[in-house]
Every structure is written in structure tokens, then in C-alpha cells.
Amino acid sequence: MIKYFKIALIVQGLFLLNSCYNKESVAGEYSGMSLVSDFDITLNEDGTWKRTDISNGSNPFEEKGTERTSSGTWKCNMDYFTSCSDGKGKGTCRKLRLRYNNGGKSHTYDVREEFFGWKFVLYADGDVISGFD
């Protein structure tokens, strides 16, 4: 069941974004970008996730349009807030941890509730390296 959707409309040069999301859970379908790919990610209610990356041509070892998939488990405590990892120490965020099925590797995203839904950002040394919404 999709609990998050966006409908984009272009009306006389204005970009309108309409959204409906569940404030009690981050489960849903999202899209975003990293340094080397654009991606779609689904966070399932059962705590599993699946991500499909499509190369944007920035990686010299992959042709543009090459698809890769990854999956694993996720956890986000909706009641817990901590400071954001943006290197500035401003604001409070929830933390989303994505664990990969291939073991060992995981990423922790800052999660902010914004007007049109959830925004997920992965920082390294204060710089954004990946994000989706």
C-alpha cells in the first residue's frame, strides 16, 4: 500500500506539488540522486527496502543508464529526535538506518518532515552525498 505520492503539475510556468503522506511512518516510494546515479527506493511496512540505481554517466566504470538493484532492512524510530548531521548542528532530525542484505554496510540518513512529505539526506563531513524525497 503506497502511503506517499506526489503529483506534479505545470500551470503557466508554476510548479505545483501535491502530497499526501503518513506522519507516523516513513514507509513509501521515493526517488532521489547520488553523485553517480538517480534512484528509486521503496521502504516497505515490513521493514525491508529495495533500491534501483540508474547510472547518470558520472561513473567511468558504468555506461549511462546502467541499472543496479540493492535491498536490505530499514529502521526509523518515529518518536526519537536527534541533532542533524549537516555539520552545523542546527535542527532536529529522525534517523533512518538502511542495512544492506550483503552484510556489514549501512547508511544513516537524516529525516526531516517537510511541508510536502519526508526529506532524507545522507551527509559526509557536513556535505550532502545523497538524498531523496
pLDDT given at position 4: 40
Provide the domain limits for residue 128. Answer: 5-132
pLDDT given at position 16: 31
Q: 26 in helix, strand or coil?
A: coil
User: Which residues of the chain carry a pLDDT beneath 50?
Assistant: 1-19
pLDDT given at position 129: 63
Number of domains within the chain: 1
pLDDT given at position 52: 93
- The CATH number for 38's domain is 2.40.128
Report the predicted TM-score, pTM, of the whole model to 2 decimal places: 0.73
Residue 26 burial by Cβ neighbours in a 10 Å radius (0-12, 13-18, 19+): buried
pLDDT given at position 44: 94
pLDDT given at position 12: 27
